Structure 1
């Protein structure tokens, strides 16, 4: 056993450790003098299945905290949350940090705080996140210690949904200035800020059962973000997308592109779904004042977020060409 291993550090079980957020949480824990990660991921270890009670009960033995970053299907998220909370009732960790999403607000508009009610229509994903939160808060009512974080659109180097996907579409000229269809509020959560919120929530006092919004951008429209991101990527001139073109993309071409995308990796097969287009026009502002007060949530400036993401994108391009 290496002498450098510090067993005085608190053990933190990270479920979904190979995912985008989970892998960054593991990296932050690894560099911490206080915590030591226990990475649990079915992708890296087929024997780790967080939907199976025996596996989770075994994984909980001896750990101090749990961070639930499980993604995947709606059923997988629900089952994992159920199994985790049931196992934790028998062997409670000091705290569970559960990653939810701004999707729980549905079609809400205006400023939304943690106590804002969801507004239909709800996506299947958003409803699953609501159901998962109910399970976690039920665990709290039974005497457990848990905290829920609701990140907005998680942006950063290699973010598959909000960085690499949008970069491909911008470079292909399929999105850009969307006109009135892009005037919705762009709620980006820098990955560094999300990880900082997780780390702070592990031992912050007086937050048992609390729910926190986590977002970084303020008063930013999708048009403003997409234009700035495109210019930083060198995807210029920034395309101006006509409303008719966007409607055709979402209503007619999206199903075809999704099928083609299963076989081909190309920006021309990237589907612009109706739900994505709806988000671009949704005037929803995520209020993070509670997280700023209780977790000292940092808010990385847009310029720094974009610069970091673009640097990573360029590194990937150079690696492919070399």
Structure 2
């Protein structure tokens, strides 16, 4: 039986990962959580998940949590901690991995580490140029893991793009704006964003990628893998907006969108000091697929699932009946 240890399990990806591990069976699952963490969010762990109270700052609790020959999944990030705090806890974790002789560390990073690149086809070999503290810190965490794992334990880095699905954040603002927002502002935004790539990936595909790396018998050796749904041409603002408008029963705009050149959007993103200023970029999942991975959820099916969840949630909260 696989021994799986998860840090950051109470987050969005983590909750889906734990649920899927429990559903498929064959693994003993442990999660590390701070005192009162589950109660504060109202989230209850499945009964067959072993919950260990501890903190990434506390090396002793990490040693209690980890087991020899386990596979560790790290989904944690200290959002209010900054670079120093995040690098400190990752070094604590890596030292604990060495002491407890873990079999493999799978670290969930982010495609945001790529930052500002000029090309439209993004692979794991592209030189990363992040400009935000988040992107810079995430990249340094990746580098620390790869360096520390060499010759000691196996490691893999996943870089998901924007993770969406029921309860997820990436499409929530767009959906709220379409349902409740100013229609003129929505129209102007649609003209500006047009065919901008949205770089979304369904949460079930991210979870499936983690499970794929857990089960992989061959050594991974610190390799980095992008997980994305960018091979779908529909993964752009205009298509997703129209899909959601139909699904959420929103009246279409009275006039066709006048699509502005994407270079205008790129300039605006640069002025706003955004990390990614290339509205045409696609993150390639080819490397992960080359070793046998296949995404289980089709992009349009994922959009349909999200729209169904949003409708049920929105109309339940507003007291209206979903049509």
Q: TM-score range by the shorter chain?
A: 0.7 to 0.9
Contact 2:8 2:74 in 1 (8 A): yes
Residues 25-74 of structure 1 deviation map (CA, whole Å, 9 limit, x = unaligned): 11111112321221223332794322321221111135711110113324
User: Aligned partners of 1:139, 1:238: CA distance in 2, in Å?
Assistant: 54
Give the corresponding residue for 1:115. Answer: 125
Find the partner of 1:207 among 220, 240, 244: 220
Give the corresponding residue for 2:2. Answer: 10
Residues 158-185 of structure 1 deviation map (CA, whole Å, 9 limit, x = unaligned): 112x132332233224546532444332
Give the corresponding residue for 1:184. Answer: 196
Give the corresponding residue for 2:300. Answer: 303
The offset of 1:282, in angstroms, is 2.2
User: Aligned partners of 1:38, 1:295: CA distance in 2, in Å?
Assistant: 27
Give the corresponding residue for 2:96. Answer: 87
The offset of 1:203, in angstroms, is 2.5
The offset of 1:18, in angstroms, is 0.8
TM (norm. structure 2) is 0.78
Give the corresponding residue for 1:258. Answer: none
The offset of 1:102, in angstroms, is 0.6
Q: Which runs of 5+ in 2 are unaligned?
A: 41-52
Q: Which runs of 5+ in 1 are unaligned?
A: 1-8, 252-272
The offset of 1:309, in angstroms, is 0.5
User: Aligned partners of 2:105, 2:177: CA distance in 1, in Å?
Assistant: 37
The offset of 1:296, in angstroms, is 1.1
TM (norm. structure 1) is 0.79
1:228 corresponds to 2:243: yes
Query: What is the number of residues matched between the two proteins?
Result: 285
Residues 244-268 of structure 1 deviation map (CA, whole Å, 9 limit, x = unaligned): xxx9xxx9xxxxxxxxxxxxxxxxx
Contact 2:68 2:101 in 1 (8 A): no
User: Aligned partners of 1:100, 1:25: CA distance in 2, in Å?
Assistant: 15
The offset of 1:284, in angstroms, is 1.2
Give the corresponding residue for 2:154. Answer: 145
